[in-house]
Structure 1
Amino acid sequence: MAPTGQKLQVLDALDTAKTQWYHFTAIIIAGMGFFTDAYDLFCISLVTKLLGRIYYHVDGAPKPGTLPPNVSAAVNGVAFCGTLSGQLFFGWLGDKLGRKKVYGMTLMLMVLCSIGSGLSFGHNPKSVMATLCFFRFWLGFGIGGDYPLSATIMSEYANKKTRGAFIAAVFAMQGFGILAGGIFAIIISAVFMARFNAPPYEVDPVGSTVPECDYIWRIILVVGALPAALTYYWRMKMPETARYTALVAKNAKQAASDMSKVLQVEIEAEQHKIDRITAAQENSGDACSKGSSFGLFSSEFIRRHGLHLVGTTTTWFLLDIAFYSQNLFQKDIFSAIGWIPAAKTMSALQEVFRIARAQTLIALFSTVPGYWFTVALIDRMGRFRIQLLGFFFMTVFMFALAIPYDHWTHKENRIGFVVMYSLTFFFANFGPNATTFVVPAEIFPARLRSTCHGISAASGKLGAIVGAFGFLYLAQNQDKAKADAGYPAGIGVKNSLIVLGFVNLLGMLFTFLVPESKGKSLEEMSGENDEENGGDAVEAVH
C-alpha cells in the first residue's frame, strides 16, 4: 500500500468521511434508475398473458388467447438483449467520457422508451408486438447503462467503512420497483373491475376480455417513466466523482473543488501528486496509452485482475439464469401448482389482479427483505460469505422443490411450495443478486472500473437471456401423462427447477474466484496505490 503521504487528500477524505446526507441523496438519485429498471423489466410478466388474450384470441375458441411461444420469447427477452448491449456500451463510455456526462443519457432513454412501450401502435397483432419489442429493446439499452454507472458512482462517492451497504442500497431499489409494479397492477386492475362490476374475488367462468383491457397494459408500462423522469434534474446536478476527475481526467483542482462542496471541508488540490503519478505511469514499460499503466485485457491486466473478472462474470451469469427465469415465469409456476386458477375460469382483469397479487406477496415477504438484509450485513459479514451463503441456500431450496415435485402439486401442499419458493428469492437477494452488483464496482482500477462492471453485468444479462428462453422451452415441454392423470403441473417446471439447482451449485464454486473487498479502499483493492510506487498490485484474499 502507498504511504499515507502519497495518497491524494481528496481520496482519503472520501474514504474516511462520516455518513452524511449526500450519501443518502446519492443512493436515492442512483437508486431510482434501478427502481425503474425493476419496474420495467418485471412488469412485462404481469401483462404478457393480457397481451395474448387481447391480440391472439380466436373468436369462438373455448380458451382465452395466449402469446405464441416465439412472440412470448421476444417480448420477454428483447429488453435483456438491449440491456446487455447498453451495459457494454455505456460501461465503456463511462470510462472514456466520465460518469456524469453519460448518466443523463441513460435516464432520458429510459423515460422516452417507457412511454413509447405503452403507446405501441399497429393495425394488427404483429405490428403492435413489433413496435413494443422495438421500444423495449431501447428501454433495455438505457437500463443497461445504469448498471455500471450507478454502481461506479456510488462506490466512488462512498467511504470504505460502509461502501458495501451504500452500493447494495442503490441496488435494493430494485425490490421496491418490483413491489411498485405489482401494487400498481393490483390497483389499476381493481379499478377497472369495479368499473365493469367484476369484484376481485369473483370467478368469471366465461373468461371474458373487455375491450378496455388494452388500456391496462399500456398504463402499466407508461407509468414506469415517472420515477426516472422525477430524478433527471438531480442527476444532472451531481458533480463528477473525484476518483474519475483526479485519477482518470488528472484534474486535481476540480476534484478537490467538487468534493469540498460535497463534504463541506477544505481539501488541498495536490496537482503535483497527480503529475508525479502520471509521469510514473507514462514511463512504465507496460504502458498502453498515455495516462494508463496498463489497458483492458493487456497481459498486466490479466495478471492482476484476470481471475477477478472471470469470477465476477461467471457468478453473475449463473445467478441471472436462476434469478430472471424465476421472476419472469412466476405466473407459470403458480398456475402449474394451482395457486392461480386456470385462465379460462377468470376474466382478463381477474387474471391480472391474481398474478399481480401473487407476485407482490412474494416481493413483499421475500424479495425486498432479502435486499435489505444484505444492506444491513454486507459490511459486517463481507461480500464473499453472503454470496456463498446465498448460492448454497438457493441450491438447497431448488432441489427441495424439484425432487419431491409431485408432492408439492397436491392442493394441501401448495402453501409449503410457495413458502420454499419465496425463500429462494430471499437468499438470491440476501446473496449473489446483490453481491455480484457490488463487487465489480470495487476491485478494478478507476480508468477501467465502469467498463469491467459493464462486462460483468452484460455477462449476467446473457444469463438472463438463457434463463428466459431456456425456462420457456422447458416449461412448455409438459408431460401429457401426468396432465391426463389429473396433476395441474408437468415435468417441464420440475426439470427447470432441477437445472436451476445445478446452476446455483456452479455459482457456489465460481464464488471462490471473487476477492473480498470489505473494509478496503478502492485503490487498495485495485492496486492503484501500488502503481504509484511501481509495485505490484495488492493481492486480495478471503
Structure 2
Amino acid sequence: MRRRAQRAEAPARGFVTFRPVGGSEPGIPGEETLAADRFTTDLPHRLDRLPWSRFHWLVVVALGVTWVLDGLEVTLVGSLAGAIKDSPRLRLTETQVGLTASAYLLGAVCGALFFGWLTDRVGRKKLFTLTVLVYLLATIATGLSWDVWSFALFRFLTGAGIGGEYAAVNSAIQELIPARRRGTTDLAVNGTFWGGAAMGAAASLVLLDPQVIDPELGWRLAFGVGGALSLSVLLLRRYIPESPRWLMTHGRREEADAIVRDIEEWVAREKGPLPPVVGKPITIDPRSHTTLGEVARTMFRTYPERATLGVVLMACQAFCYNAVFFTYALVLTRFYGIESQHIGWYMLPFALGNLMGPLLLGHFFDTVGRRVMITGTYALAGLLMAATGFAFAQGWLSAWEQTLAWTVIFFFASAAASAAYLTVGESFPLEMRAMGIALFYAFGTLVGGVVGPALFGWLIEGGQRVDIMWGYLLGAALMLVAAGTEWKLGFAAEGRSLEEVARPLSQAAE
C-alpha cells in the first residue's frame, strides 16, 4: 500500500501545493493504483459541505480557461474568415472556410474520445496538462499555414486539444465543486467561452486593421493570442490537485484523504470552522479502470433515458451554435457589405450577450431547478431564432439589428448549451464521467457541429437569403425538439451529490 501522501504546508495567502511522497504525482498510474481491499469513506460529503473559498476560485480560473480558449479559437476563425479567405497564400472559397471549421470540430470529436478515454484511466490532472499542450502547439502552427490543407490539418489538431480539455476539465470541475453550487459554477465556467469570444473579436479589430498591420500577417499573429494565454494556464494548473473522487474509486484512498485534508485546512484558515459532515459514508470496491463494454451497458441499459437526453441536448445546441457562429462573418460580408476588418465590432456585442446568459441565469439552475430552466432556455432560443430567420429572409434587418437579434437569442441559447454539458456530466457514474462527457460531446459535435458549418457555408455561397432562412429554421426546430425532450426526460440533480445522482460503479451494494 502506498504510504500516506505528505501535505505541503500552505501559506496563509497564495496557492496550496499537493505533493505525494516519492515525487510521483496524483493521477499517474502505477503498481499501487488498485488497492485490493474494500473501504468505507465520507470523502464526497466532506467536499460537498465546504463553503466557497479561494481554492474553488483557483479551480474555476485554472480549469475554466478551457472555454476561454475555445471561444477565442471559434471567434478568431469567424472574425478572420474574410481575411483568411482573401489570403494570397490560402485563397479559400466560402465552402472551404466552412470545411476548415468542420475540420476543427472533427478534431474536437476525435480528441474528446481519445483523451476522454485516457482521463478515466490515468486521472484528470495528467490529461488536463497534456491537452493544453496539444492546443498550444497546434494553434501556433495554424498561424504558419501555407495552403488550405495545412490550415485544415492544424485546425484539426487544435480542435483535438480543445476536445480533450472538455472531458478532463468538466470532470475535474464537477468533482471538486460543492453540490449546492455545481450548476451555477458549471454554467458560468462554460459561459466563459464567450469571454474568449470577446477577446478574439477585440484582437481581430487590431490585427485586421490595415493601418496597424498587414492583414496577411495580422490573421497569422491572431492565433498566437491563444498560444500566449495557454502558457499562463500551464502555470496555474500546477496547483490543482488530482480529483480525490477519482483517486477514491481507484483505491488510492490515502492520497485522496491527504488532498481533501489539505483543501479543508486551507478553507478553514480562510472561512473558520467548517460545517459538520452530513451524509452516510459509502463503501468502495476499488477498480483500475472501466471497460468500454461496461460504459456502453451503463449508458444504454442502466440509464437509457439519460443517454437519449444527452444526445439530443448536445446535438441540437451544437448545430444551432456552430452553424450560426462559424459563418456569421460570411453573412455580414456577403449580405450586409461589412468589410473584414470591421467584423469584430459585430462579434463583440454578440459574444458579450452570450457571456451574460449563463452568468445571470446560472443561479436559477440550482434554485428553480434543472428541468424547468433547461426546457425554458432551449424553447425561447428556438422560437426567437425562427422569427429572426424569417426577418432575415425578408430583408427587414440591418447588420446591427441582425446582431442585436442574435445577441438576445444566444443570451438564452448560451445558458441552454452550458446546461447540456452540465447534464451529461451529472448523468453517469464517476468512473465513466470523462468518457461519458466525451461521447456525448463527440456525437453532438459530429452530428450538429461538423455538418452545420459546411451546410451553412454552402447555403451562403449560393447567395440566396431564403435558402439561409431554411437553415435557420432547421436550427430553431432542433432547439424546440431539445426543449421537449428535456421536459419529458429531465431529472433533478440540483443540490444533490454526484454519488446520489448516479451511483458509482465501484460502490458496494448495501
TM range (shorter): 0.7 to 0.9
Which residue does 2:470 correspond to in 1? 495
Contact map agreement 2:94 2:460 (CA 8 A) in 1: no
Aligned equivalents of 1:218, 1:336: Cα separation in 2 = 23
The answer for the alignment partner of 2:453 in structure 1 is: 468
Gap change, CA 1:529 and 1:290, over 3 Å in 2: closer
Q: Which amino acid is 1:232 matched to? A: L
SS for the counterpart of 1:533 is coil
State the Cα distance separating 1:414 from its structure 2 match.
Answer: 5.6
C-alpha distance in 1, partners of 2:93/2:207? 26
- C-alpha separation in 2, matches of 1:312 and 1:518: 17
Q: CA distance change for structure 1 residues 441 and 177 in 2, over 3 Å: closer, same or farther?
A: same
The one-letter amino acid of 1:215's match is: L
Give, in whole Å, the separation in 2 of the partners of 1:325 and 1:290.
37
Q: Which residue of 1 aligns with 2:489?
A: 513
Asked whether 1:116 is paired with 2:123, we answer: no
Check 1:8–1:374 CA distance in 2 against 1; reply closer, same or farther (3 A cut). farther
Q: Which residue of 2 aligns with 1:435?
A: 419
Q: For residues 191-340 of structure 1, what are the structure 2 equivalents within 5 Å? A: 192-194=210-212, 212-247=214-249, 249-264=250-265, 277-278=284-285, 295-298=294-297, 301-335=299-333, 338=336, 340=337
What amino acid is the match of 2:244? Answer: A
SS of 2:180 mapped into structure 1: coil
CA contact (8 A) 2:139 2:224 kept: yes
Counterpart CA distance in 2 for 1:472 and 1:363 is 21
Q: Match of 2:479, as an amino acid? A: N
- Please tell me whether the aligned partners of residues 191 and 354 of structure 2 are also in contact (alpha carbons under 8 angstroms): no
- Report the CA distance shift for 1:297/1:52 in structure 2 as closer, same or farther (over 3 A): closer
Report the count of equivalent residues: 458
| Cα distance, 1:258 vs structure 2 | 0.9
- The TM-score normalised by the length of structure 2 is 0.84
Structure-2 residue corresponding to 1:402 = 389
Contact 1:333–1:493 (CA<8 Å) still a contact in 2? Answer: no
| Distance in 1 separating the partners of 2:506 and 2:123 | 24
Contact 1:82 1:140 in 2 (8 A): yes
Is this contact kept in 1: 2:314–2:441, CA < 8 A? yes
Query: Could you say which residue in structure 1 is the equivalent of 2:83?
Result: 50
Alpha carbons of 1:415 and 1:356: their partners in 2 closer, same or farther (altered >3 Å)? closer
Q: Given that residues 290 and 432 in structure 2 are in contact (C-alpha distance below 8 angstroms), is that contact kept between their aligned partners in structure 1?
A: no
- Structure 1 contact 149–450 (Cα < 8 Å) conserved: yes
Aligned to 2:51: 18
Counterpart in the other structure of 1:352: 340
- Kindly provide the amino acid, as one letter, of the partner of residue 443 in structure 2: S
Structure-2 residue corresponding to 1:153: 172
Which amino acid counterpart does residue 419 of structure 1 have in structure 2? L
| Secondary structure of the corresponding residue to residue 193 of structure 1 | coil
For structure 1, which runs of at least 5 residues remain unmatched after alignment? 1-5, 58-65, 122-127, 196-211, 268-272, 283-288, 342-350, 480-489, 535-542
- Partner-residue secondary structure (3-state), 1:237: coil
Query: Which residue number corresponds to residue 68 of structure 1?
Result: 93
Distance 1:10 1:50, change over 3 A: same
Deviation of 1:56 after TM superposition, in Å, equals: 7.5
Give the conservation status (yes or no) of the 8 Å contact 1:317–1:460. Answer: yes
The CA distance in 1 between the partners of 2:161 and 2:411, in whole Å, is 27
Distance 1:38 1:194, change over 3 A: closer
| CA distance in structure 1 between the partners assigned to 2:116 and 2:455 by the alignment | 27
1:522 and 2:507 matched = no
Residues 167, 438 of structure 2: 8 Å contact kept: yes
Q: 1:335 to 1:147 in 2, by over 3 A?
A: same
Could you tell me how far 1:189 is from its partner in structure 2?
2.9
Contact 1:41/1:79 (<8 A) preserved: no
| Aligned with 1:37 (options 50, 67, 70) | 70
- What do you get for the CA RMSD once the two structures are aligned? 2.6
Offset at residue 118 of structure 1 (A)? 0.8
TM-superposed CA distance for 1:469, in Å, is: 1.3
The structural deviation recorded for 1:473 is 2.4
User: Does the 8 Å CA contact 1:56/1:67 hold for their aligned counterparts?
Assistant: no
Q: CA deviation at 1:378?
A: 2.2
> Partner of 2:508: helix, strand, or coil?
helix
Q: What is the alpha-carbon distance in structure 1 between the residues aligned to residue 359 and residue 40 of structure 2?
A: 33
Please tell me whether the aligned partners of residues 445 and 523 of structure 1 are also in contact (alpha carbons under 8 angstroms): yes
d(CA) in 2 for partners of 1:530, 1:73:
44
Q: CA deviation at 1:129?
A: 1.8
CA distance change for structure 1 residues 116 and 254 in 2, over 3 Å: closer, same or farther? same
CA 1:76–1:440 in 2, change beyond 3 Å: closer, same or farther?
same
C-alpha distance in 2, partners of 1:398/1:468?
17
Compute the displacement of 1:336 (Å). 5.5
Matched with 2:42 is 9
Equivalent residues of 1:7, 1:529 under 8 A apart? no
Relative distance call for 1:500 and 1:119 in structure 2 (3 A) is: same
For residue 494 of structure 2, give the secondary structure of its aligned residue in structure 1: coil
CA contact (8 A) 2:299 2:428 kept: no
Letter in 2 for 1:501: A
Q: Give the match for residue 434 of structure 2.
A: 450
1:258-304 Cα shifts (integer Å, max 9, x gaps): 1111221799xxxxx88x6318xx9xxxxxx9889x92122x55332
Question: Given that residues 278 and 291 in structure 1 are in contact (C-alpha distance below 8 angstroms), is that contact kept between their aligned partners in structure 2?
Answer: no
Where 1:111 maps in the other structure, the secondary structure is helix
Q: Distance in 1 between matches of 2:371 and 2:295?
A: 25
Cα distance, 1:406 vs structure 2: 4.7
CA drift at 1:367? 1.1
- Higher alpha-carbon Rg: 1
Matches within 5 A, 1:40-189: 40-55=73-88, 67-121=92-146, 128-189=147-208
Shift of 1:194: 4.8
Q: CA deviation at 1:383?
A: 2.3
SS for the counterpart of 2:92 is coil
CA-to-partner distance for each residue in 1:91-125, whole Å, 9 max, x for gaps?
A: 1111111111211110101111111111223xxxx
1:377 CA displacement: 2.6
C-alpha separation in 2, matches of 1:465 and 1:27: 29
Asked if structure 2 preserves the Cα contact closer than 8 Å seen for 1:475 and 1:496, the reply is no
Contact persistence 1:10–1:256 (CA under 8 A): yes
Three-state SS of the structure 2 residue aligned to 1:239 is coil
1-side partners of 2:43 and 2:391: how far apart? 58
Moved more, 371-380 or 99-108: 371-380
State the secondary structure of the residue aligned to 2:495: coil
AA matched with 1:257: A
